[in-house]
Amino acid sequence: MLTATLRFDDRLTRAARRLVQQDKLAPLREVWDLWAARLPLAYNPGEDVCVDEQLVGFRGRCNFKQYMPSKPAKYGIKLWVVCDVATSYAWGIIPYLGKTTRDAPAERGQGKRVVLELTEVRRNKPELPPQLLQMKSRAVLSSLFGFTSTATAVSYIPKRRRNVLLLSTKHHQVQIQEGPQQKPTVIIDYNRCKGAVDNLDKLVATYSCRRKTRRWPMSLFCNMLDVSAYNALVLWLSVEPAWNQQKRSIRRRLFLQELGTSMVRPAQARRTRLPRSSSAAALLEVQQQVEPGPAQEQTKKRCHLCRGKRSVHARFCHACGQAVCKEHSTVVCSACSC
């Protein structure tokens, strides 16, 4: 019910804003701009960043939906994402909205506009020197460099009839790694950095709040929540790197559980009416009436009434506060407890 009625703008003025501003993202624009503007304010990326495409899976009606066969979802909304290579923190996101009108010409130089650090170069670029495109007269595992005042182009022959071309604004001298492949450092750095956005896709898909919907603003909003939750984990671990170090394989799940609990608890404390479900109502009553004690009181202890060795129990008496097992405890209803 909530997902069906959730809106992010004034629906009555949406058509006028689309007509005047020619903005396809009008149903989500205000929330999106506020969210995207805060991404770079909380975290400073490292030396290496990665710019790549993210596809938010969506098969409903959307006039800027894209088809990308290399992505798992195939159909969806394409986003340009800037990620920190070391942590996959999403530092900036730009949606791809396609042409403004159906008759508008195709955008030229889109990759040059988006990608500013390191990118793969296609052979049909007229700016490339012809020497870098030659393959017949060159030996296998050979490298050829071209320099300008701001960029470096490299051509590498990994095998016969195969030419790898890269452009970098970071490297400014000839550097080839020693080894059997004799790869240039430009290619080594590119291979190391290119998977940051793909890693972000994998992480947000593992624990996601996405739901099946026919509305693309809702699909994008769920992706915003997933990315924000992962960014929050990166920020928390940068402050507390030793947090749950012994549970490294599941600490993202533990963080999401604590994050959700901390966001829900204030609303539960303010709630005046109980839920219809008896189990949910009982849980809410306990959370509203019983204040959480110190961390050492919540740990599992042995029953103080049992003789000899017994299993560890986590129940505590509400009167004396000591640990008790199931055998030495009773269940009292809310009417009798009064």
Strand duo 143-147 + 152-159: pairing: antiparallel
Question: What Å distances lie between residue 147 and 54, 76, 116, 129, 138, CA to CA?
Answer: 32, 39, 17, 11, 19
Would you tell me how many other CB atoms lie within 10 Å of the CB of residue 99?
Answer: 13
> What are the tens digits of pLDDT across the range 141-192?
888 888 888 888 888 888 888 888 887 778 888 888 888 888 888 888 888 8
Alpha-carbon distance values, 270 to 2, 25, 84 (Å): 20, 35, 39
Residue stretches of the chain with pLDDT short of 70: 1, 100-127, 288-300, 307-314, 334-335, 337-338
CB-CB contact of 64 with 96 (8 Å): yes
What is the pTM (predicted TM-score) of this model? 0.69
Task: Return the structure tokens found at 291.
Answer: 């204040």
Report residue 24 as tokens.
């396809």
Give the ranges where 152-248 is alpha helix by DSSP (H).
185-193, 196-206, 216-239
